[in-house]
Amino acid sequence: MALALKITRAGRDALINAEDGTTEPIQIVAVGLSSVPFVMAPTIEALPGEIKRLNSIAGQAIDPFTIHMSAQDSSPDVYDLTGIGFYLADGTLFAVYSQDEPIFRKVSIAVFLMAFDVRFESEIAGAIEMGDATFLYPPATEFVQGVAYIATQAQVDAGEEERAIVTPRTMAVRLAALVAGINGQIANFTAAIDDTIAGFIASVNASLAAIRARTITGSGLATGGGDLTANRIIHVPAAGGADIDAGTAADLAVTPASLRATSRSMGSTGWIRNADGTIEMWGRVTPSYTSEGDFAVAFPTSFPTACDSVMLCDLISSASTGVDAWTQLINNSITQSGFRAQVQGGWGAWAVPVGIAWRAKGR
C-alpha cells in the first residue's frame, strides 16, 4: 500500500545531516502502532496513542527515490491500526502517518504483515537504512530483486506497465502480432514494388516493340534490310570487270578493284575502258601503197555500242622530204569494229607516208 508519510522536524534534521555527510546514514529500526487517529504534524516527537512497537522491520531502496518497507506482528494481540510511526536507532520519531478508518484490524489468530513503499521527492533513499529483519518482499525493479506479478496480455500489448513481468506466452502472442503486422507491410511493399516493376517492364517492352517495328531498307545501289527484330545487313553489290566491259548493269557499284579487272590491251595498238564508261582505242597501220585507193583498219576489239570518232595522223620517215601525199578517212566508214581510209596526192617512192597512226573513241 502507498502511505503519505509526514516526516517530523527531528527526522528531517537527521536526514539532512545524513545527506550532507555529517552523520552516518539514518537507520529505521522500529515501527510504532497506534489505534488512535491523530493529526500528522512535523512537531510530533512521540507517536500519539501508541499501543506497541515492532522491531521486526525491514526495508530496501528499490530506486533512488523509493524505499520498500515491511513489518511483522505475529503476536495474538487484537487491535485496530489507525496510525504508525517510524523510529530511528537513537529513538527519534522519524515520520508518522494516520487516518480515521482503520488501516488494518489485527485479530488473535492473524499475523500482521505490513508492506508499503515510501517515495521521496529527491534522491535520498540511499541515505536511509532499515532494521535487520530477515524478511523483506520488495517489488522487483531494475535495481532490486523482489516480488513482481505477471503482466496480462493487454498490458503486454499496451507496453505501458513498468513493474510487471512478461512471460514467454504473452511475449509470443505480442511478437506474433508484430510479425504479422510487419509481414503485412512487407507484402504490401512487395506488391507495390512488383506493380512498379511490372509497369516499368510493360513500358520498356512497348518501347522495344515500337523500335522493332521500325525498318531499315536499302535504296539505290544498296539492297537488303528489314525490321529490327533481327540483325540486318545492307549490301551494295560490286561490278566485276565483265560487268564494266558490258556497261549494261545499273545496279552495280564500280570499285577500284573492279576497274582494275576491266579488259584492256596496252601497247602500240590497244584499248582501255575509262571510269566514265567510254572506251579509247589506238594503233598504227602500214598499208601497201601501190596506188591511190582505200584500205581497211580493224579495231583491236569492237565498241559495244558505237565508235563516235576517229583521228588519223600520217607517219613519215626522218629522211623523207617533199611528201605530197596524205591519208584521209572515208566518210561513213566508221563502224563498231573499224573504219576505212585512203591515200591521196602525188606518187613516188620518195613522196608517200610510211604509215598512219589512229585514235578512236566510243562506248
3-state secondary structure of 215: strand
The closest of 9, 24, 11, 133 to 68, measured between CA atoms, is: 133
Tens digit of each residue's pLDDT (9 = 90 or more) over 100-111: 999 888 888 877
pLDDT band at 308 (very low <50, low <70, confident <90, very high): very high
DSSP letter at 167? P
Confirm if 258 and 238 have CB atoms less than 8 A apart. yes
Taking the C-alpha atoms of residue 71 and residue 49, their distance in angstroms, rounded to an integer, is 19
Between vectors from CA 332 to CA 328 and to CA 335, what angle results, nearest 5°?
A: 100
Instruction: Determine how many CB atoms are found less than 10 A away from the CB of residue 332.
Output: 8
Instruction: Provide the grid cell at 288.
Output: 601497201
pLDDT at 131: 61
pLDDT (mean) for 178-187: 92
Tens digit of each residue's pLDDT (9 = 90 or more) over 333-361: 999 999 998 877 654 444 556 678 999 99
pLDDT at 92: 94
Tens digit of each residue's pLDDT (9 = 90 or more) over 90-139: 899 999 999 999 988 888 887 777 777 777 666 766 667 766 545 555 66
Phi, psi of 17 (to 5 degrees): -65, -35
Strand partners, 309: 361
- 275-279, 300-304, 310-314: which has the minimum mean pLDDT? 275-279
pLDDT at 343: 77
Residues ≥6 apart with Cβ < 8 Å to 186: none
Instruction: Determine how many CB atoms are found less than 10 A away from the CB of residue 98.
Output: 21
Q: Is the pLDDT of residue 273 over 90?
A: no
- 39-53, 202-216, 314-328: which has the minimum mean pLDDT? 314-328
Tens digit of each residue's pLDDT (9 = 90 or more) over 53-77: 988 777 777 777 777 778 888 889 9
